[in-house]
Chain A
Amino acid sequence: MMTMLEHDAQTDESLHESSGSSDARLVEAARRGDQAAYGELVQRYEHRLARVIHRFVHDMDLAEDLAQETFLKVYERLEQFDSSRRFGPWLFRIGVNLTLDFLRRKKRRGRWSLFTDRYKDKAPDPAVADPRKALDLQQEVQKVLQMIPEKYRVVLALRDLENFSTSEIAAVLQRKEATIRWRLAEARHRFQYYWGKRHGTTMPENFTPSESAESNDEV
């Protein structure tokens, strides 16, 4: 009865796919001014980082720009890096925070605009047939993800779309793993709820996205 869906094994990359000791050696060399060593680190992580950033900004050029800014910031902060920890989560923490800050600034700037996606989404043009039908699966999933509050959405995207483990997400977001698991469960509930609402599928009884989860966030 309980058939678990398998995660896509071929894309299952871990944040410590490259040996941690190798990363530490490259970081030490980069700290001493060896740019080639830093270049090796960049080339090791850049595609994964750009893909994660793209997951949030949905623009390839912007994702590359933000990835570049992340690596620049990381280079400037190499002295602050704790060598006893893994480099990957630290890099992704800076990258994800940079991206989320960028999106928050963009949202603030667009708050007073009359022409935001939010309003378009709420009031589609009645003269046009349901525009959602024209959207493919990815776009539709994106629309539903946008309905989920950021702190849940980030966890859902990293776990279910980028295949990070919950312990890696905890390291990236600097939260306890229990908090991440709580947020993940809440995010999946919400995704299912909003997906069902948009597509008219039956929903589990008595479920509405609860704010009670908010109080349990900082477990």
Chain B
Amino acid sequence: MKCKTAKHQMALAVGEDLSPAEIQELQRHLQDCSNCQQTWEQHQRGFAVLQRSRTNETRPKYDSVWPTLSQRLCERDAAPQRGEFNGWIAALAVMAGCVVLFVFSIEDSPSLDVRPQRGVSSGGTMVTSPSNSGQSVKSMLRRDEVRTTQPYNAAPNVDGALRDPNFPVTE
């Protein structure tokens, strides 16, 4: 047996936690190893301290917990018990609410392609904005009509007449 193993075994032997065979093996090692004999004496002293502290201590007298405990158990049994699946029901309700909110939020959001710009007509219908609130609806509609029949970027047809081959060229 090596000294390292012997030291581990001594810590167990001191509290009678070794088998008779292990004790015999340890005893053989101790007979030949003075260093481990010293360690063994230290272990015995340390263990004796623990045992002395245990035997000297005054054991506290405990009151029985049963009178209070039985009262608590009666109160507990009398109280309405929560259903076993109440938590699941609540969780399912929250999940269902989330799904409904998600579906509505998708349906309400307009597509990016057809989103009208603020204050600009779309398909002949005027989209009003707070900045237009001072103008009459009629004047706005009239202006909108003009815009749709003659776009702002349409140039007057002056050059077009010059480019017409049937147009008589006068020197």
User: Quick one: CB contact mask for B46-61 with A, threshold 8 Å, 1 for yes?
Assistant: 1111111111110110
Pair B73/A72 contact, Cβ less than 8 Å: yes
Interface membership of A21, Cβ < 8 A: no
Contacting residue for B7 out of A2, A3, A51, A207, CB 8 A: A207
| Number of A-B residue pairs with CB-CB distance less than 8 Å in the complex they form | 138
Number of interface residues of B (CB under 8 A): 50
Interface membership of B38, Cβ < 8 A: yes
Chain B residues positioned under 8 Å from A6 (CB to CB) = 16
Interface membership of B72, Cβ < 8 A: yes
**A184-B11 in contact given A2-B27, A141-B53 (Cβ < 8 Å):** yes
What separation, in Å, do the CA atoms of A161 and B51 have in the docked complex? Answer: 7
Contacting residue for A161 out of B12, B54, B69, CB 8 A: B54
What separation, in Å, do the CA atoms of A159 and B7 have in the docked complex? Answer: 19
Chain A residues positioned under 8 Å from B26 (CB to CB) = 2
CB closest chain-A residue, reference B43? A192
Chain A residues positioned under 8 Å from B45 (CB to CB) = 192, 201
What separation, in Å, do the CA atoms of A201 and B41 have in the docked complex? Answer: 12
Chain B residues positioned under 8 Å from A47 (CB to CB) = 62
**A204-B42 in contact given A7-B15, A46-B66, A138-B53 (Cβ < 8 Å):** yes
Interface membership of A129, Cβ < 8 A: no
Interface membership of A39, Cβ < 8 A: yes
Chain B residues positioned under 8 Å from A63 (CB to CB) = 60, 62
CB closest chain-B residue, reference A166? B17
What separation, in Å, do the CA atoms of A68 and B100 have in the docked complex? Answer: 47
**A191-B42 in contact given A4-B13, A4-B16 (Cβ < 8 Å):** no
CB closest chain-B residue, reference A68? B65
What separation, in Å, do the CA atoms of A160 and B70 have in the docked complex? Answer: 33
Chain B residues positioned under 8 Å from A38 (CB to CB) = 73
B128 to chain A minimum Cβ distance, whole angstroms, is: 61
Number of interface residues of A (CB under 8 A): 51
Chain A residues positioned under 8 Å from B16 (CB to CB) = 4, 6-7
Interface membership of B64, Cβ < 8 A: yes
CB closest chain-A residue, reference B44? A5
Chain B residues positioned under 8 Å from A161 (CB to CB) = 50, 53-54
Interface membership of B107, Cβ < 8 A: no
Mark out the residues of chain A between 124 and 179 whose CB falls within 8 Å of any chain B CB in the assembled complex. 137-138, 141, 156, 159-161, 166
**A137-B56 in contact given A5-B48, A72-B72 (Cβ < 8 Å):** yes
Interface membership of A185, Cβ < 8 A: yes
Give the interface of A toward B (CB within 8 A). Answer: 1-8, 11, 35, 38-39, 42-43, 46-47, 50-51, 54, 60, 63-64, 67-68, 71-72, 75, 137-138, 141, 156, 159-161, 166, 181, 184-186, 188-189, 191-192, 195-196, 201-205, 207
Give the interface of B toward A (CB within 8 A). Answer: 7-9, 11-17, 23, 26-27, 30-31, 35, 37-40, 42-57, 59-60, 62-66, 68-70, 72-74, 76
23 contacts between A and B (CB under 8 A): A1-B27, A1-B30, A2-B40, A3-B44, A4-B13, A5-B14, A7-B15, A42-B64, A54-B60, A60-B62, A75-B73, A141-B49, A141-B53, A159-B15, A160-B47, A181-B17, A184-B11, A184-B17, A192-B43, A196-B46, A204-B38, A205-B35, A205-B39
**Besides A63-B60, A71-B65, 14 other CB < 8 A contacts?**
A2-B40, A4-B16, A35-B74, A47-B62, A50-B62, A51-B59, A54-B60, A64-B65, A72-B73, A137-B56, A160-B50, A160-B51, A188-B46, A204-B43
